[in-house]
Chain A
């Protein structure tokens, strides 16, 4: 790849799709400033996928999930790959667009959105919309979208659903990760998939953290489950504590909480890749970070049990630092100075004593402990390696009990039980078959994913708007692309839009028989008119008959 070229990576085996993509790309970049690279899906593809992605740093990725046999076989690996890419700070904004064979396949795997999927496309005859939308996602300009019929100024309330992911739960609370900054003590409504009777909807946000540890979401929250009190009437939406406790107890073996929680700071892409494929991330709650943040939010909010740093005391010029950190001022090099700041910071946090494991350390543990005034430090003179980290984790797990929340269940990301959705009240202002506009009191980051269920399940990706949006004080006005719909369902969406235009409803709801109902109403009115006319006619006839009789009698 020559310097400055954009790279579009296609992970899949569909040659027709690839040909169409390359043809589109040629039109989009006529100066040949991009390349489309294919990575076929095979049994060993995951290793190749990581390497290709880090070597090429693509601006856009397509993953073909539609090959059912391959997808089933490699399902957890797809989640790992998505997660891995989305956690990497340099790839965070690389859109990943997935193609699916059907809406049913997408619905079964909707947690891919929680892992980092930006856009979903149900395969059909043409890929134009997919390519246009995905290139807009990646490059933001140069796309002349078709003008779709729009139902505008709808102004109807609706509850969109934001997919969130469950990190762990116990009988008292659920820890989720999402893109929204909910307020503490706020009451939210959501739906979870733990078990059938977990049908309650109301939760209270207990604690908000500004960083997510596992996924690419921006925030983490603890939600307290609102249980029915003994004096409350038990309804379908009630939570019964005993039921939840029993379920948690029953599943402790299956979803044992991963511990320890580890923050691993390392900017070596290949090392992180090695660590991910080694399987260690399945044995403990492992969170990677490219760098230490100078406010140590990763530490403050997530409170990892172990923090692993690889020290780098090499001389770096200002130019080298500027290149490495790309002008950002909010990161720290992992060196002794940062270590001093980190230990000082840790000492300000109550009831928190993580173990700091330092790699590539020129100094010994005892020396560092004395200088930092912090005893829980282990210094190792060699660089980070999977073997040593594995040994540390095993040793820790063998010798230490799990900490405070050891009755919590850690739900694997690939499990349906980790899927959840929180209701986001919005006011829908416009709808086409391609995009939707709405007002929200929440601040939603670009590329957030939301779910719309009317007239059927669709996914919305918040984008920089291609329309002028009215400014409404106190609200954010958003535009989102619609994805995840098949060509066979589009007519229903179009019908809905027509309804919204022609017969503005009082609620944002699709009435599939509404046209017939109106007809029936009209018909009914006609029947009434007809009856009235008939009555008048009969009356007239009666009057005429009377007149005629009178005339007859006179004669």
Chain B
């Protein structure tokens, strides 16, 4: 499968998770940037305006995932945010919805992240029309 010509950001205070995800996605995504807390991530978002997707942990030191999305949304309403969720993060997940979450992936299921990430990246790259998207959603739901 050919790589998508896209740049994504992975943020987590646990280095092994960042590396695991980068490894999982490196065959599908052309450029992967890493950060280890929210503040670092925010700086990288400013530096790379061509980012098409952000994968972020919720609970992190220095600046957590909620604060990160809040700050990013001040200037970018559309970039998909995929959060890693674990036990005890339900409250944060609900809060994240208010700012525009694309999806949540359970930390134990990270090996399945590729499908979700590729979907988000494709949508971001193609900027799918709202109506067309609605038709597909209706088919899934009804």
Binding site for B on A (CB under 8 A): 313, 335-337, 340, 355, 362-368, 370-371, 376, 378, 380-382, 388, 391-392, 395-396, 399-400
Contacts and interface: CB of A to CB of B under 8 A. Distances in A.
B1 interface: no
Q: Looking at chain A's contact residues, is the secondary structure mostly helix, strand, loop, or mixed?
A: helix
B23 interface: no
Nearest to B95: A336
Interface string B84-98: 010000100110111
Contacts of B131: 388, 391
Contact of A378 (B90, B98, B137): B137
Given A364-B103, A366-B103, A391-B134, A371 B142 contact: no
Contacts of A355: 141-142
A371 B98 contact: no
Contacts of B130: 380-382
B94 A367 contact: no
B141 A368 contact: no
Interface of B: 77, 80, 85, 90, 93-94, 96-104, 116, 130-131, 134-135, 137-138, 141-142
Given A367-B104, A399-B142, A400-B142, A335 B98 contact: yes
Contacts of B85: 370
Given A313-B98, A391-B134, A370 B142 contact: no
Contacts of A396: 142
Contacts of A313: 98-99
B97 A392 contact: no
Nearest to A362: B100
Contact of B141 (A335, A364, A378, A381): A378
Given A336-B97, A371-B93, A371-B97, A364 B102 contact: yes
B98 A336 contact: yes
A195 B15 CA distance: 77
Nearest to B78: A381
Contacts of A400: 142
A259 B36 CA distance: 52
A367 B97 contact: yes
A371 B141 CA distance: 17
Nearest to B130: A382
Given A367-B102, A367-B104, A381-B130, A362 B138 contact: no
A378 B85 CA distance: 21
A148 to B, nearest CB: 62
12 contacts: A313-B99, A336-B94, A355-B142, A364-B80, A364-B103, A365-B141, A371-B97, A378-B141, A380-B137, A381-B130, A382-B130, A400-B142
